[in-house]
């Protein structure tokens, strides 16, 4: 073959090999998954094999192998703790060392908090602590963080402490601040950025709730920031960093009232008003009782789909809050009120909430792929993965 055609043939072959081969990611930073309220770790129910992230499946494993390999960690933090407490636990679990709760060293009853520790160096671990998830974490070895429900606000608290610290919390490493660029991206899924009206709606029927849900609602210090009024205070403290990419996903499992045929559970709500929202038939059964116009079976107090309040000095709750996923109001999931936000158009912007849209038909646990009649969430995590690893 003449020399010039041979060179062209070789160049064409190389080009085809590059184009047909796997597309190299712009980054391959590890991912940390952070669970929500009442969440649990991957080893909590070993006999059942049930996972918070995936139910009978495994979201973490799917993220590891989808266009991978990727490194994905599953964190475990306090099931009913505050965002700041959970952030302190998250920092120690990732970086290594013992949890420093700062000024929040005591339990509500005055006893000292139990301190958990993780080993940064498994080879030097005489106490036998579990190994830290990613001891080399710093500005050169960044992380993507994905949080479901309260896991999203927990990550926001961690970003605030990493970058700005807290002089009133002592001299611990977490509270010194100055740790900019340690987190490349934050993705929140069904997060109560502006709180949830579930707490306020069920206040009058606390005695009917089973523990631990009842216990949590009665523990003001632990749940205040997840109510709309407490979330307003939290949002004033936990800033949106100009150095981080933020993404948010909303879910909705209610429909506007209709005479018929709107896929809602007619046994729960046979009579409907188009002004209110009602739970879909494929919503997790327990939350159908609180997600609609009325709390079932009382019919004496509005549920999330019909709860309003306009008391002076409090966050105003109007009909824009009615749509929900059974646990969190959909309007609350987009971004913290007053923080920069926009609908994602394919070009990520740092320092602003890139809203990926509301996924209709997904309740608070469908989005985790828990066994239910709702849709699979794999497509959601694959979309998130494509975005994060292209940053």
Q: Which pLDDT tens digit goes with each residue over 127-174?
A: 889 999 999 999 999 999 999 999 999 999 999 999 999 988 878 899
Residue 236: the pLDDT is 96
Residue 300: the pLDDT is 73
CA distance 238 to 232: 10
- With a cut of 70, say whether residue 219 has pLDDT above it: no
Residue 220: the pLDDT is 53
CA distance 313 to 318: 15
At what angle are helices 228-237 and 150-164 packed, to 10 degrees? 30
CA distance 291 to 265: 11
Instruction: Render pLDDT for 10-31 as a digit per residue (tens, 0 to 9).
Output: 444 444 443 333 445 789 999 9
Residue 106: the pLDDT is 63
CA distance 94 to 77: 11
Instruction: Render pLDDT for 172-187 as a digit per residue (tens, 0 to 9).
Output: 899 999 999 999 999 9
pLDDT, the chain, mean:
87
Can you spell out the DSSP letters for 142-159?
-EEEEEETHHHHHHHHHH
Comparing 44 with 20, the larger pLDDT belongs to 44
Q: Is 312 exposed, middle or buried (0-12, 13-18, 19+ CB in 10 A)?
A: exposed
Q: What percent of the chain has pLDDT over 90?
A: 63
Indicate yes or no: pTM above 0.85. yes
For the residues 226-237, what does the mean pLDDT come to?
Answer: 92
Residue 13: the pLDDT is 46
Residue 192: the pLDDT is 96
pLDDT band at 47 (very low <50, low <70, confident <90, very high): confident
C-beta of residue 275 within 8 angstroms of C-beta of residue 293:
no
For the residues 67-73, what does the mean pLDDT come to?
Answer: 94
């Amino acid at each position: 073959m003449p020399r010039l055609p041979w060179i062209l043939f070789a160049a064409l072959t190389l080009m085809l090999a590059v184009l047909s081969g796997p597309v190299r990611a712009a980054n391959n930073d590890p991912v940390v998954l952070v669970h929500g309220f009442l969440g649990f770790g991957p080893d909590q129910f070993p006999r059942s094999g049930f996972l918070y992230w995936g139910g009978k499946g495994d979201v973490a494993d799917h993220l590891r192998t989808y266009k991978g390999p990727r490194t994905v960690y599953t964190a475990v933090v306090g099931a009913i703790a505050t965002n700041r407490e959970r952030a302190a636990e998250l920092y120690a679990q990732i970086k290594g060392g013992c949890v420093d709760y700062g000024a929040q060293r005591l339990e509500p009853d005055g006893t000292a908090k139990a301190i958990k520790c993780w080993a940064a160096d498994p080879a030097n671990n005489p106490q036998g602590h579990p190994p830290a998830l990613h001891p080399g974490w710093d500005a050169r070895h960044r992380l993507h963080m994905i949080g479901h429900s309260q896991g999203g606000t927990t990550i926001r608290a961690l970003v605030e402490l990493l970058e700005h610290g807290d002089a009133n919390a002592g001299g611990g490493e977490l509270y010194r601040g100055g740790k900019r660029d340690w987190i490349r991206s934050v993705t929140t899924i069904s997060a109560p950025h502006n709180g949830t009206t579930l707490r306020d709606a069920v206040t009058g029927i606390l005695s009917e709730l089973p523990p631990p849900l009842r216990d949590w609602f009665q523990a003001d210090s632990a749940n205040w920031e997840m109510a709309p009024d407490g979330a307003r205070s939290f949002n004033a403290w936990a800033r949106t960093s100009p150095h981080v990419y933020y993404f948010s996903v909303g879910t909705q499992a209610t429909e506007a009232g209709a005479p018929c045929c709107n896929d809602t559970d007619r046994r729960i709500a046979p009579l409907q008003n188009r002004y209110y929202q009602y739970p879909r038939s494929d919503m997790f059964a327990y939350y159908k009782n609180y997600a609609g116009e009325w709390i079932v079976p009382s019919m004496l107090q509005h549920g999330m789909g019909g709860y309003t309040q306009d008391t002076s000095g409090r966050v105003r709750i109007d009909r824009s809050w009615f749509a929900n996923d059974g646990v969190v109001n959909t309007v609350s999931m987009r971004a913290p009120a007053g923080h920069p936000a926009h609908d994602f158009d394919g070009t990520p912007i740092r320092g602003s909430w890139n809203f990926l849209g509301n996924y209709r038909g997904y309740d608070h646990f469908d989005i985790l792929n828990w066994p239910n009649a709702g849709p699979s969430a794999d497509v959601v995590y694959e979309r998130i993965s494509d975005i994060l690893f292209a940053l």
